[in-house]
């Protein structure tokens, strides 16, 4: 990074195309007819290739069904994605870390090879004005650290974990996560922060969500540590595509589904890029709200279900800053995941403020892509964000806020890697508008929906037999593991449906 | 398929989905969940494998019948009749 560029406050437009600003361009030209080679009829059409769509497609294909997967973007993976930039940079969007359960899910629903590529993160750090510690995030180690940092009674912390572990999603008693934390750790904003902040980063949830959402997600994580995929997101998705192809799934990218076709009250297929393709069942991995309100359409549904869907709140969005370290430069090992903030106290509101002081740094060292001879260093900063804050900005304000976000982020990073600006040769930011543009998620939602979305998602097939939904909903089905497993759960329901439909 | 073979079929599935589990001493009358480290996804996998291997369908309202090996046998006896054990 030159001094000139620093003085311009990272207004890198002077560099021309080297810095793409996210929400313009970036899409390949639409193919003339992306679904030209699709057959006329399938047992299952999957709309969207997020991890739930990919996994659902694979489970159905391995059960012997004829499956077609349609993705609007030119790349597969949904938000499990990456992008490349000049200088040899590969940026992972959502590879930050997932619970150990992913190993089992990958082995069962994908392949042993993928499961064997999952590795544990070495270190996770917290740093904010209230506390600072490093942990493996295993149950034992994390407990040691919080007991020590906050002078807590170990048995009490254990009883909190046990309470969380016993929660089931069908016995939501209306208690919020904030109330539950207050009950176990009264007046301890610092303790609430240690328990809540990582989960907010992971799924966009707040202290106001039902405690059950926290219980399930936290229990998944609080086990054997946090894991990642060695090889990077690109390798993972490539391996999944190979498996899908081997299992006979027809896959089409650049395929824009316009409608789910309903005939005699049941699902009949989809219209994609103007062409109608028949299907005995459809799995939508699009946002649940757009699935119901746009793809199915109100004329095919009862008014109360429409109302219920409208009332579903989205879980918020994200901003990210992608930082590429020059080839040949190195940065020391800091940690794998850094949850850091300069905010004095923890509030859910501060975390998604337009100018939040809180962010997660994901550090990607050469070990992320061991197969590449000159794999470099990238750093991805993520923070929670609100669509409403970014949506209304005009182009000038938008650029200004993005640049300010980049500046704040680099200032924050300098605290941990002094002189890092000198080693950077690429930086760009994404906002809720960027997420909206690439994934077509309403309001740029990057975590799916709040808890009430789960009920709409699970009951969709009662309203349109043969139509199912899987994806990030209800917070507990969010994140890589949640959405993969939800894809399996839904595929199982679909297989039952197809069996019964055939028997009739 | 005999009752013993039905038990073998279930144990075979558990061995495949959870290779680390020791299934040599399962008590047929006790809930599987109380003896093995099985979560709800594991039970879903048993259901899916029964469908794949034996063409047996277990609707979600019947999942409770898969609680122990004995209850599996009672529930699956008619459904598995005439089928060959898949290893």
- Cα A275 to Cα A3: distance, rounded to the nearest angstrom: 54
Q: By the CB < 8 Å criterion, does B47 face chain A? A: yes
Question: What is the structure's pLDDT at A29?
Answer: 55
Share of chain A above pLDDT 90, in %: 88
- Residue A114 and residue A238 in contact, taking contact as beta carbons nearer than 8 Å: no
Q: By the CB < 8 Å criterion, does A224 face chain B? A: no
Burial (CB < 10 A; 0-12, 13-18, 19+), residue A190, is middle
Cβ neighbours for A293, distance < 8 A, ≥ 6 positions apart: A306, A309, A310
Q: By the CB < 8 Å criterion, does B86 face chain A? A: no
Find which of B44, B50, B58, B62 to mutate to test the A interface (most A CBs within 10 Å of its CB).
B44
pLDDT tens digits for A372-417? 998 999 999 999 999 999 999 999 999 999 999 999 999 999 999 9
Share of chain B above pLDDT 90, in %: 70
Q: By the CB < 8 Å criterion, does B51 face chain A? A: yes
Residue A395's nearest CA partner among A21, A27, A25 is A21
Cβ neighbours for A417, distance < 8 A, ≥ 6 positions apart: A331, A332, A334
On chain A, the residues whose CB falls within 8 A of the CB of B44 are 488-489, 492
pLDDT for residue B13 is more than 80: yes
CA distance B83 to chain A (A): 18
pLDDT for residue A6 is more than 80: no
The position carrying tokens 């964000």 is: A385
- Closest chain A residue to B60, measured at CA: A493
Angstrom distances, CA of residue A183 to CA of A176, A187, A253, A397, B58: 11, 9, 49, 43, 41
pLDDT for residue A39 is more than 60: yes
**Candidates B18, B44, B51; nearest CB to A63:** B51
Q: What is the CATH number of the domain that holds B33?
A: 1.10.1200
**Candidates A101, A105, A492; nearest CB to B48:** A492
Q: Which residues of A220-241 are buried (b: 16+ CB within 10 A; e: fewer)?
A: bbbbbbbbbbbbbbbbbbebbb
State which residues form the domain around B7.
3-20+27-76
- Cα A62 to Cα A43: distance, rounded to the nearest angstrom: 13
Question: What is the structure's pLDDT at B2?
Answer: 94
Three-class SS of residue A377?
coil
Kindly report the average pLDDT of chain A as a whole number: 92
Q: By the CB < 8 Å criterion, does A176 face chain B? A: no
Find which of A58, A102, A104, A490 to mutate to test the B interface (most B CBs within 10 Å of its CB).
A104
- Residue A66 and residue A42 in contact, taking contact as beta carbons nearer than 8 Å: yes
CA distance A491 to chain B (A): 10
On chain B, the residues whose CB falls within 8 A of the CB of A108 are 17, 45
- Residue A243 and residue A115 in contact, taking contact as beta carbons nearer than 8 Å: no
- Cα A275 to Cα A347: distance, rounded to the nearest angstrom: 49
CA distance A115 to chain B (A): 13
Q: By the CB < 8 Å criterion, does B56 face chain A? A: no
Q: By the CB < 8 Å criterion, does B45 face chain A? A: yes
Question: Residue range A182-192: average pLDDT?
Answer: 97
Q: By the CB < 8 Å criterion, does B44 face chain A? A: yes
- Cα A287 to Cα B45: distance, rounded to the nearest angstrom: 26
The position carrying tokens 């047996």 is: B56
Which pLDDT band, with edges at 50, 70 and 90, does A26 fall under?
low
Q: How far is CA A423 from the centre of its chain?
A: 29
Contact yes or no for B57 and A489 at CB 8 A: no
pLDDT tens digits for A138-157? 999 999 999 999 999 999 99
Question: What is the structure's pLDDT at B86?
Answer: 87
- Closest chain B residue to A102, measured at CA: B41
Q: What is the dihedral of CA A231, A245, A467, A502, to 10 degrees?
A: -140
Angstrom distances, CA of residue A294 to CA of A257, A310, A353, A427: 10, 11, 30, 36
Question: Residue range A355-361: average pLDDT?
Answer: 97
Instruction: Please give the DSSP secondary-structure letter assigned to residue B60.
Output: G
Residue A163's nearest CA partner among A220, A209, A221, A219 is A219
Contact yes or no for A63 and B60 at CB 8 A: no
| CA distance between the termini of chain A | 68
Q: Which two three-digit tokens encode residue A407?
A: 């500046």
- Residue A63 and residue B51 in contact, taking contact as beta carbons nearer than 8 Å: yes
On chain B, the residues whose CB falls within 8 A of the CB of A499 are 51, 57
Determine if residue A190 is left, alpha or beta; phi over 0 gives left, psi from -120 to 50 gives alpha, anything else beta: alpha
- Residue A97 and residue A201 in contact, taking contact as beta carbons nearer than 8 Å: no
Which pLDDT band, with edges at 50, 70 and 90, does B38 fall under?
confident
**Candidates B45, B52, B59; nearest CB to A63:** B52
Question: What is the structure's pLDDT at A15?
Answer: 32
* B36 occurs within a structural domain: yes
* B87 occurs within a structural domain: no
Question: What is the structure's pLDDT at A7?
Answer: 34
Contact yes or no for B59 and A488 at CB 8 A: no
> Hey, what domains does chain A have and what are their CATH numbers?
41-80+233-313+447-503 (3.50.50.60)
Write down the pTM of the prediction: 0.92
On chain A, the residues whose CB falls within 8 A of the CB of B57 are 496, 499-500
Question: What is the structure's pLDDT at A28?
Answer: 54
pLDDT for residue A2 is more than 90: no
On chain A, the residues whose CB falls within 8 A of the CB of B59 are 496
pLDDT tens digits for A75-101? 999 999 999 999 999 999 999 999 999
- Cα A66 to Cα A250: distance, rounded to the nearest angstrom: 8
Q: Which two three-digit tokens encode residue A65?
A: 């069904």
pLDDT for residue A12 is more than 90: no
The position carrying tokens 């940690």 is: A335
pLDDT for residue A16 is more than 60: no
Q: By the CB < 8 Å criterion, does A495 face chain B? A: yes
pLDDT for residue A500 is more than 90: no
* B64 occurs within a structural domain: yes
Cβ neighbours for A179, distance < 8 A, ≥ 6 positions apart: A211
pLDDT tens digits for A453-492? 999 999 999 999 999 999 999 999 989 999 999 999 999 9
The position carrying tokens 């989960």 is: A199
On chain A, the residues whose CB falls within 8 A of the CB of B51 are 63, 495, 499
* B83 occurs within a structural domain: no
Contact yes or no for A496 and B59 at CB 8 A: yes
Total domains, chain B:
1
pLDDT for residue A3 is more than 70: no
Q: By the CB < 8 Å criterion, does A247 face chain B? A: no
- Residue A471 and residue A50 in contact, taking contact as beta carbons nearer than 8 Å: yes
Q: Which of residues B81 and A10 earns the better pLDDT score?
A: B81
Residues 4..23 of B with a Cβ closer than 8 Å to A: which? 17-18
Q: By the CB < 8 Å criterion, does A104 face chain B? A: yes
Residue A376 has phi, psi (to 5 degrees) of -105, -160
The position carrying tokens 């020791």 is: B22
Question: Residue range A198-211: average pLDDT?
Answer: 94
pLDDT tens digits for A249-302? 999 999 999 999 999 999 999 999 999 999 999 999 999 999 999 999 999 999
Question: What is the structure's pLDDT at A273?
Answer: 95
């Amino acid at each position: 990074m030159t001094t000139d560029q620093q003085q311009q406050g990272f207004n890198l437009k002077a560099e021309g195309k080297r810095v793409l600003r996210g929400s313009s361009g970036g899409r390949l030209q639409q193919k003339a007819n992306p679904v030209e080679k699709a057959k006329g009829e399938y047992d299952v059409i999957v709309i969207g290739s997020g991890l739930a769509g990919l996994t659902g497609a694979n489970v159905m294909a391995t059960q012997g069904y004829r499956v077609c997967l349609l993705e609007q973007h030119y790349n597969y993976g949904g938000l499990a994605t990456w992008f490349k930039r000049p200088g040899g940079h590969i940026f992972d969007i959502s590879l930050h870390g997932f619970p150990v359960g992913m190993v089992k899910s990958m082995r069962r629903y994908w392949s042993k090879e993928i499961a064997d590529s999952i590795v544990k993160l070495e270190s996770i750090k917290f740093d904010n004005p209230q506390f600072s510690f490093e942990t493996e995030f295993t149950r034992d180690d994390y407990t040691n650290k919080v007991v020590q940092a906050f002078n807590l009674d170990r048995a009490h912390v254990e009883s909190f974990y046990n309470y969380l572990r016993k929660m089931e999603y069908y016995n939501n008693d209306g208690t919020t996560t904030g109330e539950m934390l207050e009950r176990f750790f009264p007046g301890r904003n610092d303790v609430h922060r240690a328990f809540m902040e990582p989960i907010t980063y992971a799924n966009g949830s707040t202290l106001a969500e039902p405690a059950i959402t926290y219980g399930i997600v936290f229990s998944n994580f609080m086990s054997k540590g946090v894991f990642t995929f060695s090889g990077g997101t690109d390798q993972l998705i490539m391996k999944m595509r190979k498996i899908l192809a081997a299992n006979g799934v027809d896959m089409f990218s650049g395929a824009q589904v316009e409608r789910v076709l309903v005939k005699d009250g049941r699902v009949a297929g989809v219209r994609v890029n103007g062409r109608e393709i028949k299907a005995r069942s459809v799995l939508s991995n699009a946002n649940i709200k757009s699935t119901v309100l746009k793809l199915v359409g109100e004329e095919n549904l009862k008014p109360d279900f429409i109302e219920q869907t409208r009332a579903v709140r989205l879980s918020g969005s994200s901003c990210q800053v992608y930082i590429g370290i020059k080839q040949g430069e190195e940065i020391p090992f800091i940690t794998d995941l850094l949850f850091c903030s300069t905010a004095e106290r923890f509030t859910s509101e501060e975390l998604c403020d337009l100018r939040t002081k809180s962010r997660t740094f994901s550090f990607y060292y050469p070990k992320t892509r061991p197969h590449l001879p000159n794999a470099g260093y990238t750093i991805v900063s993520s923070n929670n964000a609100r669509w409403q804050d970014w949506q209304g900005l005009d182009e000038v304000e938008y650029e200004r806020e993005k640049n300010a976000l980049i500046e704040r982020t680099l200032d924050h990073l300098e605290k941990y890697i002094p002189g890092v600006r000198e080693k950077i040769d690429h930086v760009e930011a994404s906002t809720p508008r960027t997420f909206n543009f690439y994934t077509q998620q309403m309001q740029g939602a990057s975590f799916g929906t709040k808890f009430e979305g789960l009920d709409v998602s699970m009951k969709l097939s009662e309203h349109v037999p043969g139509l199912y939904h899987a994806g990030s909903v209800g917070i507990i089905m969010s994140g890589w593991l949640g959405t993969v497993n939800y894809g399996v759960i839904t595929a199982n329901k679909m297989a039952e449906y197809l069996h019964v439909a055939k028997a009739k | 398929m005999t009752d013993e073979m039905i038990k073998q079929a279930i144990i075979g599935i558990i061995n495949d989905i959870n290779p680390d589990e020791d299934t040599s001493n399962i008590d047929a009358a006790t809930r599987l969940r109380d003896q093995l480290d099985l979560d709800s996804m594991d039970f879903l996998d048993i259901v899916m494998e029964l469908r794949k291997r034996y063409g047996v369908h277990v609707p979600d309202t019947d999942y409770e019948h898969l609680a122990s090996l004995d209850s599996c046998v009672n529930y699956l006896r008619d459904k598995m009749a005439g089928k060959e054990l898949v290893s």
